[in-house]
């Protein structure tokens, strides 16, 4: 059996070698030619698995060490017998921390104070999408004293999107990216929705690039925080460098040591289940024994860390991919 693994996924090196031939590739190395005789792929959002990549290959298992899987053509995979799994909830706490830091920075910019609890009582925070991340964000905001509004039509939770927009001072999106179906989310935050918002409402997108129409956002005059960009890594410098861009980052909201551990563990468990390898079916235990769990140091997580990330991206917008690769997990 041959397995190809994205070399930037931590806590996997050495784990699968007793059971398979394992290769570690950079994101640009996952080509049709390189993967054609592989049985399994373990990837991130940077590898797009579609007909062009997969057709005529031996791939029958794909694990993505991410919450979402809009980089995978699931329809093609289902019709061709390729099992696909993601890691829902793996980085939910990290994204919640990101939103908390973004909101804190926003309120500091308004008042100069740094405590959310002192500032929140006069603000309403709207959460669009109440899955793993959205639910955590809502609980965090309630504990800090915000009035919280929820919107999640598939779950039949909360108020209408228009009502949330009209009443919220801060709106944070935590939906998947769906272009079709009963509940499409592509450009969910569009010109029409922005017109319903309070004049200076903060818009946060730490969900998926494309959930927010960035051009409409730029023209709306609203301040914003963006971690997930439409068309990344080729991001729109006008959107990035605008004075409205309170904070920006290079798709690292979910990048924490604990989040990466959970994602790797979930991939290992799924791999063990699919291929019937008993010793890998408890991925959490396997990862806990990995030497990197003791050696990996946390990166910058001191107050103001998101401001420092934002400054680095605005100073070097052309280095989006490199900054993301070099980012030290919080």
How is residue 72 written in tokens?
């995978």
Question: Residue 293: what pLDDT?
Answer: 81
Q: List, for residues 282-302, the tens digit of each pLDDT value.
A: 999 999 999 888 777 789 999
For this structure, is 232 an active site residue? yes
| CATH code linked to domain 2-89+257-295 | 3.40.50.720
Q: Does domain 93-253+301-326 have CATH number 3.40.50.720?
A: yes
Does residue 279 surpass a pLDDT of 80? yes
Q: List, for residues 111-125, the tens digit of each pLDDT value.
A: 766 566 666 678 999
Q: If pLDDT is split at 50, 70 and 90, which confidence band does 151 have? A: very high
User: Helix %, strand %, coil % for the chain, to 5?
Assistant: 40, 15, 40
Question: Residue 70: what pLDDT?
Answer: 85
Q: Could you check whether 2-89+257-295 and 93-253+301-326 share the same CATH topology?
A: yes
With H, G, I as helix, E, B as strand and everything else as coil, classify residue 260. helix
Out of 104, 132, 222, 251, the active site residue is: 251
Out of 208, 222, 262, 290, the active site residue is: 208
Alpha-carbon torsion angle 298, 223, 210, 164, nearest 10: 100
Out of 232, 262, 290, 324, the active site residue is: 232
For this structure, is 195 an active site residue? no
Phi, psi of 128 (to 5 degrees): -105, 110
Q: Where are the domains of the chain?
A: 2-89+257-295, 93-253+301-326
**pTM of the shown model:** 0.89
For this structure, is 251 an active site residue? yes
């Amino acid at each position: 059996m041959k397995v190809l693994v994205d070399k930037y996924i931590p806590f996997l090196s050495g784990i699968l070698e007793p059971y398979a031939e394992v290769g570690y590739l950079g994101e640009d190395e996952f080509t049709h030619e390189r993967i054609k005789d592989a049985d399994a792929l373990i990837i991130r959002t940077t590898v797009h698995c579609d007909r062009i990549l997969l057709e005529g290959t031996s791939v029958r298992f794909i694990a993505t060490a991410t919450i979402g899987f809009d980089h995978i053509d699931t329809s093609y995979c289902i019709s061709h017998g390729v099992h696909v799994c993601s890691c829902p909830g793996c980085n939910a706490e990290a994204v919640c921390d990101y939103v908390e830091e973004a909101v804190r920075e926003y309120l500091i910019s308004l008042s100069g104070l740094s405590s959310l609890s002192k500032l929140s009582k006069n603000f309403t925070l709207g959460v669009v999408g109440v899955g793993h991340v959205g639910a955590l964000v809502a609980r965090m905001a309630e504990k800090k004293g915000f009035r919280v509004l929820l919107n999640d039509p598939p779950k039949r939770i909360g108020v209408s999107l228009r009502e949330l927009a009209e009443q919220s001072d801060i709106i944070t999106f935590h939906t998947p990216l769906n272009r079709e179906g009963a509940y499409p989310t592509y450009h969910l935050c569009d010109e029409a929705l922005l017109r319903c918002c309070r004049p200076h409402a903060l818009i946060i997108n730490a969900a998926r690039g494309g959930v927010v129409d960035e051009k409409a956002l730029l023209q709306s005059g609203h301040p914003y925080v963006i971690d997930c960009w439409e068309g990344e890594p080729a991001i729109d410098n006008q959107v990035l460098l605008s004075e409205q861009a309170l904070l920006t980052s290079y798709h690292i909201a979910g990048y924490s040591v604990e989040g990466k551990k959970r994602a790797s563990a979930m991939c290992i468990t799924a791999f063990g289940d699919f291929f019937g390898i008993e010793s890998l079916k408890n991925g959490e235990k396997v990862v806990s024994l990995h030497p990197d769990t003791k050696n990996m140091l946390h990166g910058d997580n001191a107050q103001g860390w998101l401001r420092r990330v934002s400054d680095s991206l605005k100073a070097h917008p052309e280095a989006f991919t490199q900054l993301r690769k070099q980012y030290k997990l919080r």
